């Protein structure tokens, strides 16, 4: 249901922000199962059960195949695109022993060292990163 495009929906004003998956009501509905799964990882015993057999553990949740695959393959951006929220998926990161910064680095396609260095130098500038058009120009 949530995955069907809603006809005549006006363009979301934040859809133009590049490299960003805004976690709005549509994504929340789409990704409920991903986020519900991630919440279970708050308990140490569940983290152990998940690590013991990831695919079997995920069967408890009503995820579609793409969502399951994104988790098994640790496709961090894809999880967000399919309705996961970063504060939830970070718990999967924690289960893997990753900090927020390590998870963030993976989503940028940079190495952990490269990302950490960028942050130390003041982070990613907003210049050239405000709109998708700017990204297209850069990559075009």
Partner 1 sequence: MAKLVGGICCSHVPAIGAALDLGKTQEPYWTRVFSGFEKSKEWFRQMKPDVCIVVFNDHATAFSMDIVPTFALGCAAEFPPADEGWGPRPVPVVKGHPQLAAHIAQSVINDEFDLTVVNKMEVDHGLTVPLSLMFGQPEEWPCPVIPLAVNVVLFPPPSGKRCFDLGKAIRKAIESYPEDLRVVIFGTGGMSHQISGPRAGLINSEFDKAFLDSLAGDASYAKDIKHVTYMREAGAEGIEMVMWLVARGAMDAKVEEKYRFYTVPASNTAVGHIILENAA
Residues that bind partner 1 (CB under 8 A): 13-14, 17-25, 28, 32, 35-36, 38-39, 41-44, 47, 77, 80, 85-88, 90-91, 93-95, 99-101, 103-105, 107-109, 115, 118-120, 122-126, 129-131
Which residue's structure tokens are 């399951």? 68
Compute the least distance from the CB of residue 117 to partner 1, in Å.
11
Q: Token digits for 58? A: 């995920």
Q: Sort residue 11 into left (φ over 0), alpha (ψ -120 to 50) or beta.
A: beta
Residue 41 or 68: the one with the smaller Cβ distance to partner 1 is 41
Q: Sort residue 74 into left (φ over 0), alpha (ψ -120 to 50) or beta.
A: left
Residue 73 or 99: the one with the smaller Cβ distance to partner 1 is 99
């Amino acid at each position: 249901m949530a995955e069907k495009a809603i006809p005549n929906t006006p363009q979301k004003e934040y859809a133009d922000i590049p490299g960003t998956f805004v976690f709005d009501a549509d994504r929340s509905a789409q990704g409920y199962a991903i986020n519900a799964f991630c919440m279970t990882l708050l308990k140490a015993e569940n983290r152990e059960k998940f690590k013991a057999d990831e695919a079997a553990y995920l069967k408890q949740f009503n995820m579609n195949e793409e969502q399951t695959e994104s988790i098994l393959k640790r496709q961090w951006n894809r999880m967000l695109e399919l309705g996961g929220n970063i504060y939830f998926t970070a718990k999967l990161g924690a289960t893997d022993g990753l900090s927020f910064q390590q998870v963030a680095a993976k989503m940028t396609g940079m190495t952990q060292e490269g990302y950490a260095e960028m942050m130390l130098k003041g982070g990613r500038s907003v210049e050239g990163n405000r709109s998708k058009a700017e990204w297209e120009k850069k990559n075009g």
